[in-house]
Structure 1
Amino acid sequence: MDLHLEHIKCVVVVADSLASGLQANAASVITMTLGQRCVELVGPDVKDSDGVIHPGVVRVPVPILTAPAEQIDAIWKRSDSDGLVRVGFTALAQSCRTYEEYVDRLGATPTADLRFVGVGLYGNKKDVNRMVGSLPLLR
């Protein structure tokens, strides 16, 4: 593991009020976006002993935590000023059937009216822990 990754933390927080399938959906969307935004999270491809190449996987743990939606909104707002990479996932996004519908509906919605049901954070371990350190793991 690279030295800088030892000081990095990546977490996903989903609303505890969501059904388990919607929690899984929110977590998967957030982690895919984090992987695209933070390319150093995913390691290089690896060969097994037969020479078959397997795609690289995440290089740091990514715990999935839960919190009330109001707390996720607060984490979203506070994390803007800490130099963290953050990915929010809203109830609006979860209600859309296509990306085009999401783009249209989000474009017509003020930020203050968005209700976050998930957030992903990536950055300095101390800063991330300060935001989510006491939250429980998803069960």
Structure 2
Amino acid sequence: MTDTFRDRAPIPERCVIVVDDELAAGQAANAAAVIALTVGQRHPGLVGAPLIDASNHEHPGLIPIGIAVLAAGQDDLVEIRHKGIIANCDIVDFPIQGQQTKDYAAFRDAVAQVETRDLRYAGIALVGDSKPIRKTVAKCRLFK
């Protein structure tokens, strides 16, 4: 059995997604959705109990702590990622190459050609304790 972040992590207190403020609305929504799916896979405890409506129909559980979607420039995204790693957050990053192709193998190949320090991101999620995440994204604004 491999040791993954989700195998050893308690249920996080906070989750934020920060997208590139230069992205068009559709690209930003795509980035946030891709990142959120991976966050859900890595942190299944973030999915709340099913919702039961007044007709007694069940609806899938949603994230009870919410997800703020913020915006930042490219340089800030790189810095946010770095600070999140130092703060021991789980980081889900979406390199920009992911929006340049629909072929996942081509995406993987493109990322493999770029050093970590040179990667640029469509978006990044930070998942973990509230205080370090709030501090890390304090300069960010809500995505509009």
Q: TM-score range by the shorter chain?
A: 0.7 to 0.9
Q: Is the counterpart of residue 135 in structure 1 residue 144 in structure 2?
A: no
Deviates more, 1:23-32 or 1:38-47: 38-47
Rounded to whole Å, the distance in 2 between the matches of 1:109 and 1:136 is 29
Q: Is the counterpart of residue 86 in structure 1 residue 91 in structure 2?
A: yes
Rounded to whole Å, the distance in 2 between the matches of 1:55 and 1:99 is 28
Q: TM-score when scaled to structure 2?
A: 0.85
Equivalent position of 1:49 in the other structure: 54
Gaps of 5+ in 2: 1-9
- The one-character-per-residue Cα deviations of 1:93-112 (angstroms, maximum 9, x if unpaired) are 11121212112222233222
Equivalent position of 2:121 in the other structure: 116
- Any conservation in 2 of the 1:92–1:114 contact (CA below 8 Å)? no
Number of aligned residue pairs: give it.
135
Deviates more, 1:75-84 or 1:101-110: 101-110
Identity of matched residues, %: 32
Q: Is the counterpart of residue 67 in structure 1 residue 53 in structure 2?
A: no
Gaps of 5+ in 1: none
In angstroms, what is the RMSD of aligned CA positions? 1.7
Rounded to whole Å, the distance in 2 between the matches of 1:15 and 1:66 is 6
In the TM superposition, residue 44 of structure 1 has moved relative to its aligned partner by 2.6
Say which SS state the counterpart of residue 100 (structure 1) adopts: helix
1:17-36 matched pairs, under 5 angstroms: 17-36=22-41
Q: Which runs of 4+ in 1 moved over 3 A?
A: none
